Copies of this chain bind each other. A is one copy, B any other.
Amino acid sequence: MRTEVITVQTGSRLTVRNITDEADRFVAGQGDGLLHVFVPHTTAGLALIEFGTGSDDDLRRVLNDLLPADDRWRHRHGTPGHGRDHLLPAFLSPYATLPVCAGRLMLGTWQSLCLVDPNGDNPTRHVRFSFLPG
């Protein structure tokens, strides 16, 4: 199994970072199979959405509404409200699987693979790509 960990920079507030180009490069030349994407963090997750036409802003909004960054949470390490960062991976899982044919991701026209990171305290993130031949 070919596997590789890349480093991604996010930011100081809830960030939706498009990592489709990185995934495309990883599967290039790999034949048919599955791309497995894995985020080894407890305060980030993955989403396959349209990027750059407002939906990434809308995703930030709905996450801030459903998982408010306030003091209601029991987990209280880090900055105030950080407890909600730890809930995000339960809803936006840190694992994804995408079909690959002849070394190309078989995504729909508007789909982008995004790392969603609400944690402003830790802007350096890792993502593991693995290719499972079919």
Which residues of the other chain, B, contact A92 by a CB distance below 8 angstroms? 90-91
Number of copies: 3
Choice from B49, B66, B87, B99 contacting A55 with Cβ under 8 Å: B87
Task: State in angstroms the CA–CA spacing of A91 and B90 once bound together.
Answer: 8
User: A129 CB to closest chain B CB, in angstroms?
Assistant: 9
User: A86 CB to closest chain B CB, in angstroms?
Assistant: 4
Number of interface residues of A (CB under 8 A): 61
Task: State in angstroms the CA–CA spacing of A89 and B48 once bound together.
Answer: 7
B97 in contact with A36 (CB, 8 Å)? yes
Given A54-B75, A132-B134, check contact A93 B91 (CB 8 Å): no
Which residues of the other chain, B, contact A108 by a CB distance below 8 angstroms? 39-42
Which residues of the other chain, B, contact A39 by a CB distance below 8 angstroms? 108
User: A87 CB to closest chain B CB, in angstroms?
Assistant: 6
A134 in contact with B1 (CB, 8 Å)? yes
Q: Which residue of B lies closest to A65 (CB)?
A: B66
A106 in contact with B128 (CB, 8 Å)? yes
Choice from B3, B55, B67, B98 contacting A38 with Cβ under 8 Å: B98
A-B contact pairs, 5 of them (CB 8 A): A3-B32, A42-B50, A54-B76, A58-B84, A95-B97
